[in-house]
Amino acid sequence: MNIMTVKGFSGKWLFWGVFALLALAALVYTVRPEPVWVDLASVSRGPLEITIKEEGRTRVRDRYVVSSPVAGYLHRVPLEVGDAVIPGELLTEVDPMPASTLDARSRAEAEAKVQSARSALNSTRQKVAAAEAEADLAIRELSRLKALSDDHFVSDERLQQARAAADRAQAILRSARFDEEVMAHELAAARTRLEVSAARETGNGNVERVPVRSPVNGSVLGVARKSEGVIQAGEPILELGDPGALEVVVDVLSFDAVKLSPGVSVRLTGWGGGSLDARVRRVEPVGFEDVSALGVEERRVQVVADITSSPEAWQSLGDGYRVDAEFLLWQSDNVLQLPESAIFIGDGQHQVFRVVDDRAVLTNVSVGRTNGFQTVIQEGLADSDRVVRHPDRQLEDGSRIRVR
């Protein structure tokens, strides 16, 4: 075999060897699985809050319905919603119906009502005395803490709590005094029904008119009867209240209501102004059925919260205004967290697909609290790790991925 024959033979094998390698590479490239398109999320550190957010409404804490003391002819009510009133202010008048002379039984009943109203007034005065003692104690405690705060012996949070307690005590005292005024006027009304004859006429022939006066200091919240006409005794005429004493009422799902208790912090937004601070005062012990906008029957519970921000911050709020209430259940300023959509359950534990060199690596993780969007990561991941969000069934441990 000469040299030319050997060279030709070697070149032929080299050609077919290269051709085979290329064919094998093309075959491997053709049959290998395509990378899975995925969305990624990063593990990060930052603040996290767990809240319950519901829509609520403001409500005047103490409301008073002014009704007609006698059956008769009501004069037109000149007041409009929002008008300010003071105790004793004349609201309207009623021309009484002619009344017959009280018989023995009716007079005994009227006298009993006077005694009942007098007893109710005495009871309310005792409540006022108790509220005054509580308010005085709260004010003295606030003054003491302010003095200690100047020397940095008391924290700002403790001082704010004392200030809120003093405000609540003052509000309770105002409410008790309003009740005392109402009871006093109810006693006067009972005496009027006993002593004044609605059918009596004066010497000049004018029928005696029964005045209807404001029992409290506040504003008109509603007008039940605007026009004049015949009215029955006890029929509502006006609704009064103090718009400066507001509370927030939130209808919360019963599933969430069990997580709330008096003292839980509340953040109020969505009312047209800045964020306001509030605190839960009462969680109603009775639930009720409500139908959502989608027609789903839900069990809800009323939660009442007091606004603790300064009145200057919410002076434009009124009765029946809409607010968004966020109940703060838990918070942290710096915690390792991950989107909830990246976590799934596998082999009885929480797992994620961590991205390593463009491949999805199945990783077990230990999780903590979650707010439905972000979840606390306790073990298994580090800050700045990248994971697959919304993993599908195509992904397996070691699968190649491609970011959308």
Q: What is the pLDDT of residues 231-243, one digit of tens each?
A: 898 899 999 988 8
Q: How far apart are CA 212 and CA 192, in angstroms?
A: 12
Query: What domains lie within the chain, and their CATH numbers?
Result: 36-47+333-403 (2.40.420.20), 51-58+244-332 (2.40.30.170), 66-241 (1.10.287)
Summarize pLDDT for 175-209 with one digit per residue, the tens.
888 888 888 888 888 787 777 544 444 444 456 78
pLDDT at 161: 78
Instruction: Give SS3 for 320.
Output: coil
Query: Sorting pLDDT into bands at 50, 70 and 90, what band is 300?
Result: very high
What average pLDDT does the segment 134-152 reach? 75
Query: Residue 328 — very low, low, confident or very high, per pLDDT cuts 50/70/90?
Result: very high
Contact between 60 and 242 (Cβ < 8 Å): yes
Give residue-wise pLDDT tens across range 257-296. 999 999 999 999 999 889 999 999 999 999 999 888 788 8
- Percent pLDDT > 70 in the chain is 87
Do β-strands 399-403 and 36-42 pair in parallel, antiparallel, or remain unpaired? parallel
Structure tokens at 289: 């059925």
Question: H or E segment at 402?
Answer: strand 399-403
pLDDT at 376 over 90: yes
Q: E strands within 68-147?
A: 72-74, 84-85, 90-96
Q: Token pair of 81, please? A: 């919603």
State the Cα angle at 283 between 159 and 254, rounded to 5°. Answer: 135
d(CA 394, CA 51): 35
CA distance 198 to 96: 5
Average pLDDT over every residue of 22-41: 71
Kindly state the tokens that stand for 143: 């003054």
pLDDT band of 113, cuts 50, 70, 90: confident
Read off the pLDDT band of 46 (50, 70, 90).
very high
| Distance between CA atoms of residues 400 and 99, nearest Å | 96
Q: What is the pLDDT of residue 184?
A: 86
Q: Which residues contact 277 (CB under 8 A, 6 or more apart)?
A: 265, 266, 267, 268, 307, 308, 309
Tell me how far apart the alpha carbons of residues 388 and 105 are, in angstroms, rounded to a whole number: 85
Cα dihedral across residues 118, 123, 125, 126: positive or negative = positive
How far is 234 from 118, CA to CA, in rounded Å?
A: 19
**Tokens representing 197?**
């004859």
Pairing of strands 246-253, 236-241: unpaired
d(C-alpha 281, C-alpha 302), whole Å: 11
Question: In sequence order, which residues have a C-beta less than 8 Å from that of residue 315 and are 6 or more positions away?
Answer: none
Instruction: Tell whether the model's pLDDT for residue 105 goes beyond 80.
Output: no
Question: Using CA atoms, how far apart are residues 369 and 260, in angstroms rounded to an integer?
Answer: 17
Identify which has the larger pLDDT, 25 or 199: 25
Three-state DSSP class for residue 367: strand
What was the pLDDT predicted at 199? 42
